[in-house]
Amino acid sequence: MTTAQSYRRMVNAGNKIVVGLQRLGVAFGPMHLLTVPGRRTGVPRTFPIAVIPLDGARYIVQAYPKAAWVANVRAAGEVTLTRGRRSSAARLAELPVPERRPVLRRLVET
C-alpha cells in the first residue's frame, strides 16, 4: 500500500466518525455536512467540511481541487449543508482565481 492510499484510508475513517457524530446532533468547530448528489449516479454523497464565516460571507476552502465532492458540486449547483440537526440548501460559487489570494490570506489571519 502506498503512502497516498494509507493517507486516503485514514481520512475516510476520520470522515466517517465526523459524519456519525454530526448526524447524532453533535456540532463542533466550523464543521458542517455537505450533501450533494453524485454527478454520475445521482446518489446523495455526504462529506464533512469546514464552513468559515468571513465578512458576512461563508467560505469553504478545498486543498484538493480534484476531490470528488468538488466535481459533484460543480455538476449539481446546489447542496445541503447540515450542522447538528439543522439543514439548509445552499448554492456554492467558486471564487475567480484573482480573488482567491486575498480571501485565503484573510482566512489565515483570523
Q: How many domains does the chain divide into?
A: 1
- Report CA 45 to chain centroid distance, whole Å: 11
Q: Give the tens place of pLDDT for each residue, 59-69.
A: 988 777 678 88
pTM of the model: 0.77
Query: What is the CATH number for 77?
Result: 2.30.110.10
Are 87 and 78 in contact by the 8 Å Cβ rule? The answer is no
pLDDT tens digits for 16-42? 787 777 777 777 788 899 999 999 999
Does the pLDDT at position 88 exceed 90? Answer: yes
- Are 22 and 82 in contact by the 8 Å Cβ rule? The answer is yes
Polymer length in residues for the chain: 110
Please give the order of strands across the beta sheet that includes 78-83.
44-50, 31-37, 78-83, 86-91
Domain that holds residue 68: 3-109
C-alpha span between 24 and 98 (Å, rounded): 39
What's the rounded mean pLDDT across residues 53-80? 87
